[in-house]
Amino acid sequence: MARWAAFINRHRDADAAWLTVDAGNYVDRDQSGGCSNKCQFMVTSYKDLHYDVLNIGKQEAWMGLETLVALMDTTPGTEFVSANLVAANTRKPIANPYVIKDFGKIRVGVLGVLNEADFPPGTLLLDTTKMRVIPAYEAVQKYVPALSRKVDAVVLLSDLPSTTLDTILAKIPEIDVVISAGALRTGENAARVVNSQVVGTGSSGYAGHYATLEFNPAWGDSIGFTNFLDQLTDIYDEQGLWAERQAAFEAKPAVNRPATPPPAQAGSTSGLKPTVVPSTGTPPPSKAAPTPAQLNRTEKTKKG
């Protein structure tokens, strides 16, 4: 987490509007099923890093309804999304299926789903008397077409495997960007699938991504996409608050190295100021890092 904080700080543009999101599986539960110490550490860290939207993945759903509701209630300023985790009695989503973030001339819709295959019939990992997981395709099909008419870009957060994503993206072309913590064939490399850019967060948690999304009225509903990837090695070990927090959590001395000067900012080809959407699928803090994506704040005509 300390290296991830350093990565964000080095690549953040002070003049840009950032939308920070996570694809899911960022916490784990303790033996009693509640939020573990690692879970508490991650949630506190995300709040202080000003995460805007967190998708509910299987690890969050495993904690149970009461813990999940408490988790959502104790993270002010952060919104949780899940379009296919529903209450067993009402079939209504436990969290908002999507949120819309308004940056003035650009509106971005962020929708989240988890993988129903992680919860087979008879599973003990989900209290089915309180929560159910409906098929991801069913949920995406329900919400995305209407959402796409309200926004300039649709971002899907998920932990879906490649085969499921391929099916969804072939039938629902309105999705612009997918950030998935699932087992993508492309690993951590960005790939174009049908009309969508797909970014995998990888499994190690030692990579940082951001991507510049460019909007131009002449392109209609199309967007430009440039991905940036860096390994979160010891070049991101910096002395300071986050190193101290990480060291205190792990009960070991903080890294005492001088801060490394930031690298040159990767910019968009439009030359306009970027708005950044860091995105992730974050492991527990010992594996430290989500992956980002970035939006370029350029005026675009509304869809529909």
Q: What is the pLDDT along the chain (304 residues), one digit of tens a residue?
A: 888 888 888 888 777 777 888 898 888 777 666 778 888 888 778 777 778 899 999 989 988 899 888 888 877 778 999 999 999 999 999 999 999 999 888 899 999 999 999 998 888 888 899 999 999 999 999 999 999 999 999 999 998 988 899 999 999 999 999 988 876 665 677 788 888 888 887 655 677 777 777 777 777 777 778 778 888 888 898 888 888 888 888 874 444 443 433 333 333 222 222 333 444 444 333 333 333 444 443 333 334 3
**Residue 219: Cβ within 10 Å count:** 12
Q: Of 76, 141, 148, 151, which is closest to residue 113 (Cα–Cα)?
A: 141
Spell out the domain ranges in the chain: 2-296
SS3 181: coil
Give the C-alpha separation, 34 to 193, whole Å. Answer: 37
Give the C-alpha separation, 218 to 299, whole Å. Answer: 10
Asked if residues 177 and 153 have their Cβ atoms less than 8 Å apart, the reply is yes
Q: Of 185, 212, 206, which is closest to residue 281 (Cα–Cα)?
A: 206
Q: Of 181, 113, 117, which is closest to residue 147 (Cα–Cα)?
A: 113
**Residue 103: Cβ within 10 Å count:** 15
Say if strands 85-87 and 223-231 run parallel, antiparallel, or are unpaired.
unpaired
Q: Is-above-0.85 flag for pTM?
A: no
SS3 157: strand
Give the C-alpha separation, 129 to 268, whole Å. Answer: 49
Q: Which CATH class is domain 2-296?
A: alpha beta
SS3 277: strand
Phi-psi region of 271 (alpha: psi -120 to 50; beta: other; left: phi over 0): left
